Amino acid sequence: MSTLNKKTIEDLDVKGKRVLVRCDFNVKIENGVITSDKRVVASLPTIRYLIDHGAKVILCSHLGRPKGTVDPAFSMAPVAENLSKHLGMEVKLAKDVVGESAHELAASLKDGEVLLLENVRFEPGETKNDPELSKKFASLADLYVNDAFGSCHRAHSSTAGVADYLPSAVGYLIQKEIQFIGGALENPKRPLIAVLGGAKVSDKIGVINNLIDKCDTIIIGGGMAYTFFKALGHSIGTSLLDEENVENAKQMMAKAREKGVNFLLPVDNIIATDYAADATNMRIYSDSIPDGWMGLDIGPVTAELFAKSIQKAGTVIWNGPMGVSEWDNFAQGTIAVAKGIADSNAISIIGGGDSAAAITKLGFADKMSHISTGGGASLEFLEGKELPGIACIDEKDA
C-alpha cells in the first residue's frame, strides 16, 4: 500500500473546526523541568498552521510510561508551559484525557485557541487501542491529525484507533517522513544505496531483506558485518557474531547476487584485543582476523570505498554506525561515511538513533535531506511494514 497518497493538514478545511492532533511530546523531564524541548519545537509548524487557519486546536501526546494510571510525575503540565512560551499564547491544560475537564475546555475553545489534554497513557485503553477510548477521543473533535511519527508503529487509541471515527490527515512531521522514506522506497532517485550498520543482524534482517528488493547497492558495516564474514567462511576472532543469523546472512547475499544488487562488505577492519575505548588496535584485511581479536570499526580502505560508492548515489539511506563510534579510536569509519554522505549530492535520509547522533555531533545535520524523528518507526518503515499510525489516515480524494 502506498503511503504517498495520504491526506495532509493542507487537504483539510480546518476553519472553525475542533482538530485533535496527536503529537510526540515525549520529552525528558528532570525534577519537573524539560531538559530538551526539541520534540515540542519540531511540532510547532503543524500547530502554527492550524492556529493561523482558525482551527480550535486540541493537542495530545504520551509522556513516559505511566502504565494506564494517573501519575502526576508524568503530567503534561511542563509541556503546556513550554508550548505557551513558544507560541506566545496561553495553552490550556485539561485535568484529564477524555473526561469532563477535556470536554468542557474543548467545547469552549475559540478559533485559533490551543488546548492540551493530559497524558494519553493515563488511560488504560490507550495502549490496547480500545475502541471505547478511541470513540471518546473522537467525541472531542471534528477532525484528527496524526503528527507523532515516533509512535506510528504502534496501534494505540490516540495514534490509530481514533481515525476510525473522524476524517483524518497527517501533520507536517509525518508528511516529511513519508515524502523521504516513503519516496525512497516507492520512487527513488537512483542509484538507491542503503548503508546499514550497528550491532545486531537480528534487529535489521527485515530491513536488509526489504532493501535488497529496492536498492541498487547495499553497504554493510558495524558489528553486523562479522556475521556476514562468518557466512563467507572467514575467521572473525572474538568479533560480534549473531550465530542464529549466519544462515540468513548467506541467503541474503545469495538473494542480492540473484537480483544483481551490489552487496558491499568491509575489506579491511580496525581490530582490537578488548572491547574497550583504549584497547590495543591494528588494521587488518577482512579474511584474516586472528584469534583473540575483535573488529570494532571498518578500516580506512573500506571507508574510502564506501564513501566513493556513496558519491554515485541518487538517494542514500543510512542506519547504524560503522563501528563503536562512541569511542574515538573506533569512530573513523562512521565519520568517513557521514562525511561521504554530507559531501554527496544524493538525497540523504538518516534513520534516527546512533547515525543521527553522529551526523549531529559532526555538524553535518544541515547537509542531510532528512533525519528521521522516529528510530523504531523508521526501521519498521524501511522494513516495508505497514505503520498503523499512517495506514489509518484517509487517502487524498481521487
Nearest-5° angle of CA 14, CA 146, CA 122? 115
Q: How far is residue 131's CA from residue 40's CA, in Å, rounded to a whole number?
A: 28
Spatial contact of 219 and 264, defined as CB atoms under 8 Å apart: yes
Q: Minimum CB separation from ligand AMP for residue 121, in Å?
A: 25
- Going across the sheet that includes 91-93, the strands are 91-93, 114-116, 56-60, 18-22, 143-146, 168-170
Instruction: Please report, as ranges, the residues that interact with ligand AMP according to CB under 6 A.
Output: 198-200, 203, 222-223, 240, 295-296, 320-321, 323-324, 326, 353-354
Q: Which residues of 348-370 are buried (b: 16+ CB within 10 A; e: fewer)?
A: bbbbbbbbbbbbeeeebeeebbb
- Going across the sheet that includes 281-285, the strands are 281-285, 268-272, 294-298
Spatial contact of 155 and 390, defined as CB atoms under 8 Å apart: no
Nearer CB in complex with ligand AMP: 124/292: 292
Q: Minimum CB separation from ligand AMP for residue 113, in Å?
A: 42
Spatial contact of 141 and 20, defined as CB atoms under 8 Å apart: yes
CB-based burial label for 167 (10 Å; 0-12, 13-18, 19+): middle
Can you read off the three cell numbers belonging to residue 339?
Answer: 562525511
Which amino acids are annotated catalytic? 39, 200, 353, 376
